[in-house]
Amino acid sequence: MSVFTHIDFDNHEQVVFGHDSASGLRAIIAIHDSTLGPALGGCRMWSYATDEEALRDVLRLSRGMTYKSALARLPLGGGKAVIIGDPRRDKSEALFQAMGDFVDSLGGRYITAADSGTGVAEMRIMAQRTRHVAGAGQREALDGSLRDGDPSPSTAYGVFVGIRAAVRHRLGRDDLTGLRVAIQGVGQVGFNLARLLKDAGAELWVTDIVEANVRRAVEQLGARAVDQLEIFGLDVDVFAPCALGAVINRHTLEALRAPIVAGAANNQLASPELAEDLQRRGCLYAPDYAINAGGIIDVFYERSGGSPAELKAHIEGIEATLEEIFRRSASEGATTTAIADRLARERLGR
């Protein structure tokens, strides 16, 4: 398994493999770019079918974090960690202590946080072994209440204001009352997003691989449950992917009817050229690393000590960033992903 010739290798600064036989830890940390500051990105735990699949994920995700921080105007670089294992069966205190040691071995070049398959509990264990971890403590929420270090409410709020920008640009409306939204994945981020949309008057259709998540959205938010494959072909205004990546592919693209794709998932497009296909179909795509930056902004403010008001204002800047991307895309005829990449590279000084 070669790293340097890998199709997703993008001049990454460092790719490190970690193994601890006692705890069973098998992990990869990728630092993509530290031009703007230390690399920050979540620690994902997933049942990867192969080591190659895990490597591809960490390479793609770490690059996305570089661009995400750049677009969000944060003094941070891009990095990511993945743990190979089933998050429902393979977690242990020893495993995450070993992961904390692994993160600490990089001397602060990489700062970790929660991601798919990990949460506040795991960050607290890792924090016993390294200070280079975010989201392990309590802090003040956007509404002034006390919350734990989970950044998912901020991620959801950023996606919400991003959807607002996309709806304004593509559908020419500011009011979200009656807006039809299909949400794929109603875990922590997806459920928080659904609640914000419901409060704004939107109608919701949801699906998830975890039945309890769907049931919660139906019972608490009045959402309509649909099959996992049916979600793509619904006659809705917005399709919001909020689970794992690569959900927009050749097969699902044919079924897709929504004029807007805007969600929280990373790496939503299975391949870059799909951005052109979406554009040809008249579908407005909100680049994932632009719209889902609320979480990384949250983590930055946790570490810098900014106030909830400052955090909220910074997250709301996602709306202006997307408006610029949409405007430039329309005027230049380039895809939204091409414009977003260009903006990120400009801010990286490339």
In angstroms, the CA 263 to CA 232 distance is: 13
What is the total residue count of the chain? 350
Q: What is the pLDDT of residue 312?
A: 96
pLDDT in tens, 232-267: 999 999 999 999 888 999 999 999 999 999 999 999
Question: Model-level pTM greater than 0.75?
Answer: yes
Q: Does the structure show a pLDDT above 80 at 142?
A: no
Q: Average pLDDT for residues 115-130, to the nearest whole number?
A: 95
| Contact in structure between 238 and 184 (CB atoms under 8 Å) | no
Instruction: Pinpoint the residues of the chain covered by CATH 3.40.50.720.
Output: 147-347
Q: Does domain 14-64+77-137 have CATH number 3.40.1350.10?
A: no
Q: Give the position of tokens 């050229």.
A: 273
Q: What is the pLDDT of residue 95?
A: 98
Q: What is the pLDDT of residue 1?
A: 66
80 assigned to active site: yes
Q: Does the structure show a pLDDT above 80 at 85?
A: yes
**pLDDT band for position 141 (cuts 50, 70, 90):** confident
Q: What is the pLDDT of residue 150?
A: 85
Of 80, 91, 198, 312, catalytic = 80
pLDDT in tens, 276-305: 999 999 999 999 999 999 999 999 998 888
Q: Average pLDDT for residues 9-15, to the nearest whole number?
A: 96
Strands (E), 21-141: 25-33, 39-46, 77-84, 110-114, 139-140
Q: Does the structure show a pLDDT above 80 at 326?
A: yes
Instruction: Pinpoint the residues of the chain covered by CATH 3.40.50.10860.
Output: 14-64+77-137
* Cα end-to-end distance, the chain, whole Å: 30
Q: Average pLDDT for residues 100-129, to the nearest whole number?
A: 96
Residues 147-347, CATH architecture: 3-Layer(aba) Sandwich (3.40)
